[in-house]
Each structure stands twice: as C-alpha cells, then as structure tokens.
Amino acid sequence: MTVSISRQIAFEILRRIEAEGAYASDLLHAELGAQVKPADAALATELVMGVLRWRRLLDFLLERQLKKAVGRLDLAVAIALRMGAYQLRFLGKVPARAAVNESVEVVKHERKSSAASLVNAVLRKIASEAKSPPEKCLPLDLDSAERLAILHSHPAWMVKRWLPRFGEAQTIALLEANNRAPRLSCAVHAVGQRVEIIRNLEKHGLRVQPGALLKSAFAVTGGSPVRTPAFRAGQISVQDEASQAIPLLLAVREADRVLDLCAAPGGKTGPLVRAAGKTGTVVAADRHAHRLRAMASQFARLGLTNVQLAEIDATRPLPFCGEFERILVDAPCSGTGTLARHPEIRWRLRPEQLAESSEQQKQMVTNALAHLSRGGRLVYSTCSIEPEENEEVVASVMENSPAVRRVPIAEAVSTLAPHLAANLSAAQLFAADGFFRTSPAAHPTDGFFAALLEKT
C-alpha cells in the first residue's frame, strides 16, 4: 500500500511547519499548484489546517493511549498519529481502515517502520472511541480554562486571558470561530467590471457570495480564485474583508502623499495607490528586502506603477525629509485575530511576546507621527485582539504626543459608511471607545483593530 498524494503533501507540510517554523498558508499555496487534482488539494488542505487547529485535543486523546507526551515521540511518528486521529475524529467520510492504514504507511515511508505497530495500535483504539464525546475523557478536577482549552484546542494561557475580558459565552464563541475554516474573501480591483468578473468566476466553477462587510467584496467556495483568469489579470485579490476595510479608514484623497509603513505583503497598499491617483505619491515600506521583492511582483500583477518601495526599519527614525498627509501603520503583531486562518500561531506564541510587540509598535507609531503633516490622518491597525498591542499602544503614544488626537467617532463612522454592505451600519464596527474592531466571534472575518489619529 502506498500513501495517497494528498496525505504525502499534508505530512510534508506539517513536518516543515514543526521543523522549520514555516506557515501553512504559504506552503499550501506553493505545493497545491495546477498539477494537483482539486480533490487531493482539498483533502491536503483539510488535513493540514485541521491537525493544526485541533492539535491540543488530538494530543490529549492520543496521550491517553500512549501514556506519554506526543512531543516526546519522533516528529514523523507524532505527525502521522495526529493526522490519523484527526481523520478518525473529524472526517466521517474517510473510512477508519483507510485513516489507520495510511498513517501506518506514512511512518514506513519515513523509514520509521519500528513505530508502525505503535501507530496501528494507538489509532485503532482512537477509532474505537471516535464517536464518544471528548468531554467524557476529561479529568473531573480540571478548572474551566483548562477544560475549554483542551476541548477547543487552544493554549490555556490564551483562554485564561480571554475569560475575564470577554466572559465565558463570548470566549467559547471565539474559540469555536477559531476552529472553523474562514471565509475565502476577495477584493475587487476593477470595480466597474464586478458583474462580469463574478460571472467569469462562476463559469470556472466557483460559487460567489456577497461580502459580509464591504459591498465591493465577495466570498467564494468550491475552488481557488487564484487559479482564475480574473486573479491572473489583477482584477481581484484574495484578502479578508476586515483587512480590506483598514485602508479605507485613511480616506486617502487625490494627490495625497501616503506612507504605508509596514506594507508587506501589500494587500492594503493597492487601495491607497488607486485613491491617491496619478498625482499622488505612495511609499510602501518594509524592513525585509525579500518581502519588498514579493510586493513588487504583486504590484506588477495588479498593474500598480505609481508606488515607491523602500526598505525601512520602522522601529528606527524614518529617513524622510518631508511629511505625509496619510500614514498607515499596519503593525506586525501577535496575530491572535487570525487563529482560524493561521492556526500554527496559537502553538508558537508566548505571552511574554505581547509586551515585546507592544514596545516595537509604540516606537513605530511615534516614528510615523513625526512625519505626519498637520491635519493629516494616521491609522494604526493590527490583526490582534490583545489590549497590549491595541488600546495600550494608542494610549501610550498619545500620552507622549500632545499634538495628536483621536478622530471623532462620528467622522470615523462616516469615513467607512459609504463602503459597507447593505444592512450593515458602520457604527456596528466601532465600539463606544471609538476604536474599529472586528471579531471572528461576531463577524465572518479575522479579528482586526484600528485607531484613527490626526495631528492638530
């Protein structure tokens, strides 16, 4: 018996994520090219993302049979067990025999034949209790946070942070959202051709749904939009709707001088360039040369020429003589608002990293404000739901920047209102404190935060 192509791809991607610190979305995009059949690509994606999302629960169930930590096993054996357990627990259409046997073949293929009998025995036991609710396996003395962390497969420290802030019901909703596959949303660049673009996507077998936040956006199922002529022609891009909303908050005008300070991968830069027009100036900066090269390729696909790329470390004073009317600081962050899309983050992030990120973010915003013109607007945004990276950054910067104020909430709401989908009020996206927020628990998007600042 040989290992199916879908399981071979999934195993190798999971191995590289663990061994090299790679990201699932990048590897899936690279590996699942046109040469891979759609059915194989779909199963490989399901296995990779499912194992990553449910790793904690899978390890808990496996360790009941192993009597030792999965982390102590050889990496190939651990991955094969997780893949098998995920199929047995979550993929009812996969026959138990196939899930067990192919996992055994995986370890044999990886020259770990000595572990084949272990994998076979453990997964057979997992199969025998696959229909039993995992709650029945939990020790009775677990506290609420630990129980939720295991059942919903998150680090306990995250759950302990969220429970007092959100309450149990909202925390559970967030945990559940993080374990669902996110909507595959697209941004339309050729707005005048929207109807034609959607018709062509449907001709290629994709099912199109209206945007949940933005009237210019849409979501697709049933295939990959990056394989379509519309994507290749630069008419659309794959981008979460909350991410699409961020550059709109800047309200860029024709001929504005605009700085996109942490621009990579470049998805938010395009709307800024189009809004500034041929007479505007847009600088897209990033500290890594390879990411700038990737952006250049992206901009070439999109036909964006009126943009300057700059290699800049935003945590240091910026090398500009002039000022900008609009600045976007979409800061690097923990990414806790994207755990459905990037589930590996939950296993890599450590609580002490939040404070480290916060200090860097404060420096970035402070450096950017030094080059914001009087009356100009700066948007600070993250894909984090943690206060250290959001509200606390803004409070600290404003305390040390007397010439900066928050854009009034009514003005912020009116900025976004024209772009929103029908039946959605901009006020629903701004809390009483005036900050823009989305949450996977409340919206079919990633969790984003944004603050609108202006220099007086």
What residue type is 117 in one-letter code?
S
Contacting residues for 405 by C-beta, under 8 A, at least 6 apart: 398, 453, 454, 456
137 flagged as catalytic: no
Dist. CA 451–CA 435, nearest whole Å = 5
- CA atoms of 38 and 259, how far apart (whole Å): 40
Burial bucket for residue 48 (CB in 10 Å: 0-12, 13-18, 19+): buried
| Residues whose CB is less than 8 angstroms from the CB of residue 418 and which lie 6 or more positions away in sequence, other chains included | none
Quick one: which H or E segment has residue 310?
strand 308-311
How far is residue 55's CA from residue 14's CA, in Å, rounded to a whole number? 11
DSSP string, 30-88: HHS-TTS-HHHHHHHHHHHHHHHHTHHHHHHHHHHHHSS-GGGS-HHHHHHHHHHHHHH
First to last CA, the chain: 71
- Dist. CA 393–CA 444, nearest whole Å: 26
Residue showing tokens 């707005």: 191
Amino acid at 424: L
Closest to 152 in 3D by CA, of 83, 76, 229, 57: 57
Decide: 287 and 258 in contact? Cβ < 8 Å: no
Q: In 10 A of CB 111, how many CB atoms?
A: 8
**Residues that are catalytic:** 383
